Amino acid sequence: MTITKQQIEAHGLKLDEYKKIKDLLGREPNLLELGIFSAMWNEHCSYKSSKLHLKKLPTKNNIVIQGPGENAGVIDVGDNDAIIFKIESHNHPSFIEPYQGAATGVGGILRDVFTMGARPIALMNSIHFGSPENNKTKSLLSGVVSGIGGYGNSIGIPTVGGETKFNSTYNENILVNAMAVGHANKNKIFYSKAKGINKPVVYVGSKTGRDGIHGATMASAEFDDNSDSKKPTIQVGDPFTEKLLLEACLELMKDNSIISIQDMGAAGLTSSSVEMASKGKLGIELNLNKIPCREKNMTPYEMMLSESQERMLIVLNDGKEETAKKIFEKWDLDFVVIGKTTDSKKLVLNFNNDKVADIPIAALSEKAPLYNRKWVKSKISKNKIKIKDLKKIKVEDALIKILSSPDHSNKNWITNQYDQVVMCDTIQKSGGDAAVVRIHKKEKAIAIAVDSSANYCKADPKSGGKQIVSENWRNLISVGAKPMAITNCLNFGNPEKPEVMGEFAECIEGIKEACQYLNFPVVSGNVSFYNETNSKSIFPTPVIGGIGLINKLNKEINIKIKKPGNLLIVIGKTIGHLEQSAFLHENFSIYDGPPPEVNLTNEKNNGLVVLKLINDKLVLSAHDVSSGGILTALAEMSISSGLGLKIYKPQKLTNYFEYYFGEDQGRYLLEISKNDLKKIENFLNKNNIFFEIIAEVQKDIFELEKVFNIKTKDLYNYNDQWYNKFNAIN
């Protein structure tokens, strides 16, 4: 048959890409081969528009065992312990079918982690929705949260935190980014690289259905008014089967049975077989008649492109088939030898005694298109807020407006739907700067934080990129953890548009600079392009997931202030940067001007000094200063504990709003005992760290001297009331 132009376009390929396919094959592909090329050459699998920029990111240091290029990143945290982690997007599926889209996003990221030999210990997420007034927002939010909770709770992995944000830029293109963290023995890490000739290739897990066909291709295209028609491309997850698969894989991993292992995620059996062969410089031959199917009369095309969940592909050592089979059958899972490794360096597919596909592996991997897309620098607004305009509002009213806004309100109504303590190792749940999870049966713990700042990245992509990494660094330090490494999920619009590609390139540059300076490498991640509908793009939204190490339990701290009479000090200078602040957004609907400057020297110096104070047990509680400024951060500390604060006027106050709501970077709030003040002052002065005494803890009144006072319980109520208003919409 002759491939038509319509078929080429339906597979998400350009005409020049199709010509390249014919050149690589030396002939015209059949429809199955076209589908395979479509799956492997889309943005989701090939990174054809992003790879050149991603290469700039720092990915190595003395603790990195495995950086980008595998299912997940791996770092060494001492005592033969490794932490395996990754964050990935499931944006398009979650918009089309919120529950299953979010649920399978969780399932997919968990497989990325346990495929490498880790037992998952925690989940996190970063989810972004449109304006609360948008008629789709409520149902999308409800579906996504239910999907995240439904999958995580059922499989028995704690969802320990994350972030939920709202902005009209996501009205037609929500973001659902899922992060998983696992623990493994650093000497028992499993990889996807196939080795050896004539080794058995084994299919394990669930049966293959017709769900998810063209899922990866769909994720590499923008939406239009007909996006609902793409529902058949959404995978259906089964957390109970995934639990069985997890346990079976971990049991098999106890001996030397496995040569390589790869989960069937995006592009299903196609991507898993090609990636294993490509990394091993080998070929793979499969007999598709042996694929376990749950639907009748499935075609080779459907089998190869299905994204049915809870499936793995394994290359076994010789003679290990029976051992492995017994394990998977014990867990009531399919186990079928469907092929073998070869020296052909080709993907060869057989069906009904016919060869139905014959493609060089290199054509699907290293010879895939690689684009150096045109990009333009973003225009950075230099507009400054005029102070006279700020007199229209009282400080107290401005604070209440921020605390009761969608982004800053209490999110317990979301996180309470997640089991945060299953496995009994959760030390700190959601609600603080970072979650803390103990490494099972060990005297150390892992801190996990997820951060994004789309407004900053839109205003100045490079500065915004630096800021997100820096905030993640601060959040980990604020719970007493040494920052170790990050994973990223880079959510952008159409890369074929120079302005979007410019946002991406500049964000990468900012992330690179911050990671290099802070020795905070990127070890895994994901790029999600084409997040736009009817040519309207989302704001650039890179999400950073960070891991920190607490090497001794009981050294961790939280944001809850502890005792009346204690002092709060602020580390780092306050200049009073209001442009792009929550204060202007929530009180004046102003989205103009540049984001705050990020001084990486100050970030590093301030952070390391704060960590030393925490490790020396001189800090009783801590909180980084970010969105909403000092006053919002103080209020969050007060709300979390039920205690009040008497807030002092700073010595060099020029303007209440600038000082208390400015979002200058590199700052921390620390609760200390008065008895330790002199010791701390001497230490900070010795290290040239700027600090100010800003407040004293008191019983139940939150007050700014001679300006306002609010009962702490009322402060909590302001922070808690948004959900009721949201629930009344529509």
- Catalytic amino acids? 44, 90
HEC states along 204-232?
Answer: EECCECCCCCCHHHHCCCCECCCHHHHHH
Note whether 643 and 698 are within 8 A (CB): yes
Using DSSP, state whether 507 is helix, strand or coil.
Answer: helix
Note whether 248 and 331 are within 8 A (CB): yes
Segments of 495-647 assigned E as strands: 522-528, 532-533, 536-537, 541-550, 567-571, 621-624, 644-647
- Joined together, the tokens standing for residue 228 give 């609902």
Note whether 179 and 264 are within 8 A (CB): no
Query: Which among 498, 620, 460, 504 has a CA at the least distance from the CA of 52?
Result: 504
Looking at the DSSP bridge assignments, the partners of residue 70 are: 68
The amino acid at 432: G
Pairing relationship of beta strands 175-185 and 258-263 according to DSSP bridges: unpaired
- Joined together, the tokens standing for residue 23 give 């050149």
Residue 553 CB coordination number (10 Å)? 14
Query: Which among 215, 219, 252, 222 has a CA at the least distance from the CA of 237?
Result: 215
The alpha carbons of the chain give a radius of gyration, in whole angstroms, of 26
Spatial separation of the C-alpha atoms in residues 520 and 475, rounded to whole Å:
13
Residues 6+ apart with CB under 8 A from 616: none
- Joined together, the tokens standing for residue 513 give 């600079």
Q: How far apart are the first and last CA of the chain?
A: 52
Note whether 687 and 375 are within 8 A (CB): no
Pairing relationship of beta strands 644-647 and 701-704 according to DSSP bridges: parallel
Spatial separation of the C-alpha atoms in residues 479 and 489, rounded to whole Å:
23
Spatial separation of the C-alpha atoms in residues 603 and 457, rounded to whole Å:
18
Residue 241 phi/psi, 5-degree rounding, is -65, -40
Residue 373 phi/psi, 5-degree rounding, is -65, 145
Spatial separation of the C-alpha atoms in residues 605 and 470, rounded to whole Å:
12
Axis-axis angle for helices 712-720, 395-403 (nearest 10): 50
Query: Which among 276, 177, 205 has a CA at the least distance from the CA of 545?
Result: 177
Spatial separation of the C-alpha atoms in residues 724 and 132, rounded to whole Å:
12
Residue 599 phi/psi, 5-degree rounding, is -100, 105
Looking at the DSSP bridge assignments, the partners of residue 175 are: 128
